[in-house]
């Protein structure tokens, strides 16, 4: 029958083995985690800049005309889509 006792290893070697087994890969951040943290920081920074611009009521001179143009384009697109649906429904 085999003995289940551990072989005699010097105490200094045991400490080195224990240190190597507990520090390999533990406590470090992976590259993916670091990239995700940087991206999250940039998103937070952009949100803070947007919030400050809204707080101080900053509006570039071109924004009202751009807003009006987008609304006009949406209205025209929905009317065109409605005409197309009517045309297809009538079987043309």
Predicted TM-score (pTM) of the model is: 0.42
**Integer angstrom CA distances of residue 2 from 5, 6, 52:** 9, 12, 74
Average pLDDT over residues 2-27: 57
- The band of 91, judged by pLDDT with boundaries at 50, 70 and 90, is confident
CA distance 62 to 1: 88
pLDDT of residue 17: 61
Q: Indicate left, alpha or beta for 70 from its phi (over 0: left) and psi (-120 to 50: alpha).
A: alpha
Average pLDDT over residues 79-92: 88
**66-79: pLDDT as tens digits:** 999 999 999 999 99
SS3 annotation, 32-67: HHHHHHHHHHHHHHHHHHHHHHHHCCCCCCCHHHHH
Percent of the chain beyond pLDDT 90?
Answer: 55
């Amino acid at each position: 029958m085999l003995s289940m006792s551990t072989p005699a290893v010097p105490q200094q070697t045991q400490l080195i083995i224990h240190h190597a087994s507990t520090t390999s890969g533990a406590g470090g951040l992976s590259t993916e985690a670091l990239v995700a943290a940087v991206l999250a920081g940039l998103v937070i920074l952009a949100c803070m800049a947007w919030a400050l611009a809204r707080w101080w009521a900053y509006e570039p001179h071109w924004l009202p005309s751009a807003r009006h143009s987008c609304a006009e384009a949406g209205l025209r697109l929905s009317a065109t889509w409605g005409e197309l649906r009517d045309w297809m429904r009538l079987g043309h």
